[in-house]
Structure 1
Amino acid sequence: MKNQIFICTLILFTAVSCKSSKNSISKDIDKLEGATWELVYLTGPRISFEGLFPKERPTLIFNLEENSIGGSTSCNAYSSKITIEGNKISINDPIATMRFCEGGGEQAFTKLFSKIESYKVMNETLSFYMDDIELMRFKKQ
């Protein structure tokens, strides 16, 4: 009898935790659209963040109806198709205008898109991850 109660309790806790996780993910998706996100952190380059983006920071805008993103690389306008399932996201190689850009900021920013596997929204911050490594962080504007 005690085993049956324990098993029922375990199943109940599992069901509740799965439901709350799905609700959290659904709320994250809702937070993505309707805002401009400004890049505040980028992993990888040995050049300082300010050195990569001395005048303007890259931005990101979601259009979930069209499964796309767009924004500015800090130099050129870009857009890309996306796929979102739960907290998993994949971003296709972006297309961008072809203005000449000094420094390596634009390349450092766009080359990470293909490595992004998941995202998390906490408060006014959006982070993209590969495994457990944070690749990019954006602040909501």
Structure 2
Amino acid sequence: MKLKNFLAASAVSSAIILSACANTPEAADSDVTTDNLVRGGEWIVEDIGGNGIIDSSRVSIIFMEDNRVGGSSSCNRYSGEYQLNGSTLTVGDNMASTRMACAPALMNQEESFLKLLMNVNQARFGDHGELLLSTPEGKTIRAFPSSPKP
């Protein structure tokens, strides 16, 4: 009986010690800052408002140090300005874009992405390091870093 109690106590102690050693993100790492947006390099969009993205299409977001944002919006390249204050992110409505024509489905995806991006008001990081950009209506753009900068 004493051996069972000893083993149970050892198992509980081990679990406590291992959970204390677990790698939990620090608050500073989970806060959205211009620095960690820029260090993220190119953010590859995997979901636009809960609708996913078209296979083999590319939607990306690149935050630059001078409060500029740009990337690929499916068919065209876009650029504009952004402001970040705490978790409040706004993207200027003075977005510029190239004017190439693509398949209608890609053009629709591009329109949805840019419309959502210009209505974003909150930025946060998810449990897996993904960037979540949300609108007041609850629509979200989800993106993962492509190649983080050192």
Normalization by structure 1: what TM-score? 0.70
Distance 2:52 2:102 in 1: 16
Residue aligning to 1:106: 110
SS of residue paired to 1:49: coil
Distance 1:121 1:134 in 2: 15
Structure 2 residue corresponding to 1:117, chosen from 110, 115, 121: 121
Partners of 2:116 and 2:135 within 8 A in 1: no
SS of residue paired to 1:109: helix
Structure 1 residue corresponding to 2:133, chosen from 118, 128, 135: 128
Distance 1:106 1:88 in 2: 23
Q: Which moved more, 1:31-40 or 1:121-130?
A: 121-130
Is 2:55 the counterpart of 1:54?
yes
Partners of 1:90 and 1:116 within 8 A in 2: yes
Is 2:39 the counterpart of 1:37?
no
Partners of 1:127 and 1:134 within 8 A in 2: no
Normalization by structure 2: what TM-score? 0.66
Paired letter, 1:135: T
Structure 1 residue 40: Cα displacement? 0.8
Partners of 1:38 and 1:139 within 8 A in 2: yes
Distance 1:55 1:28 in 2: 29
CA deviations on 1:49-77 (whole Å, 9 max, x unpaired) are 34xx33322001101x3111110012111
Distance 2:137 2:97 in 1: 29
Matched positions, count:
114
Q: Any unmatched runs of 5+ in structure 1?
A: 1-19
Partners of 1:38 and 1:140 within 8 A in 2: yes
1:71-90 correspondence runs (5 A)? 71-90=71-90
Greater percentage in strand: 1
SS of residue paired to 1:33: helix
Paired letter, 1:107: E
Paired letter, 1:55: S
Q: Any unmatched runs of 5+ in structure 2?
A: 1-25
Q: CA RMSD in A?
A: 2.3
